[in-house]
């Protein structure tokens, strides 16, 4: 069976279809996620469209459940455009936190992190104290061994000075 005709026809068809799509641009304008969820027409100057694209409906749904659409719109209109993207990101983060922890929200997460920092600082202080204690013990042992071996005529060198037992205390 000769496949050259089929391949040639397919190539011609795909070339024809690609030239067709280039000559007549098809612009599919879909409403932003907010307008889609609120079931309203998305205007050209929709305040929510730049921050809630149609591909991310969950982002608006979460913020809408916690803050409400009208409050989100009012909040965004009070801000300069350069700050709106950060504000939406913060709103979505806070809405997620409020969904996970309805009582404390973001404050609960902050409190847990501060407690974790305090616990880690206490562990670090204890580890530093233990290290200092071991260093003192090592210094006392070195002094004792040096004192014991310095009186002997065999050798004036201490076996601890050659790092024979160094890794045990460091």
Residue 124 CA to residue 37 CA, distance in Å, equals 50
Residue with tokens 């011609």: 12
Domain spans of the chain, in order of start: 33-100, 109-169
Cβ-Cβ contacts under 8 Å for 137 (sequence gap 6 or more): 169
Q: Check residue 137 and give its pLDDT.
A: 95
CA nearest neighbour of 71 among 94, 103, 54, 55: 94
What burial class does residue 51 get, using C-beta atoms within 10 Å of its C-beta: 0-12 exposed, 13-18 middle, 19+ buried? buried
For the chain, 170 residues long, give each residue's pLDDT as a single digit of tens. Answer: 444 444 444 444 444 444 444 444 333 368 999 999 999 999 988 999 999 999 999 999 999 999 999 999 999 999 999 999 999 999 999 999 999 999 999 999 999 999 999 999 999 999 999 999 999 999 999 998 888 888 655 555 555 555 555 555 55
């Amino acid at each position: 069976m000769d496949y050259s005709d089929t391949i040639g026809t397919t190539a011609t068809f795909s070339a024809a279809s690609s030239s067709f799509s280039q000559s007549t641009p098809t612009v599919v304008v879909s409403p932003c996620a907010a307008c889609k969820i609120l079931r309203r027409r998305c205007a050209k100057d929709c305040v929510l469209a730049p921050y809630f694209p149609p591909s991310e409906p969950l982002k608006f749904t979460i913020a809408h459940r916690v803050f409400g659409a009208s409050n989100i719109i009012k909040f965004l209109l009070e801000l300069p455009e350069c700050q709106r993207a950060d504000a939406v990101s913060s709103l979505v983060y806070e809405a997620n936190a409020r969904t996970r922890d309805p009582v404390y929200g973001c404050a609960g997460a902050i409190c847990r992190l501060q407690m974790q920092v305090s616990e880690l600082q206490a562990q670090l202080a204890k580890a530093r104290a233990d290290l200092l204690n071991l260093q003192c013990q090592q210094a006392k042992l070195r002094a004792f061994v040096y004192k014991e071996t310095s009186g002997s005529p065999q050798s004036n060198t201490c076996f601890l000075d050659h790092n024979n037992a160094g890794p045990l205390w460091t």
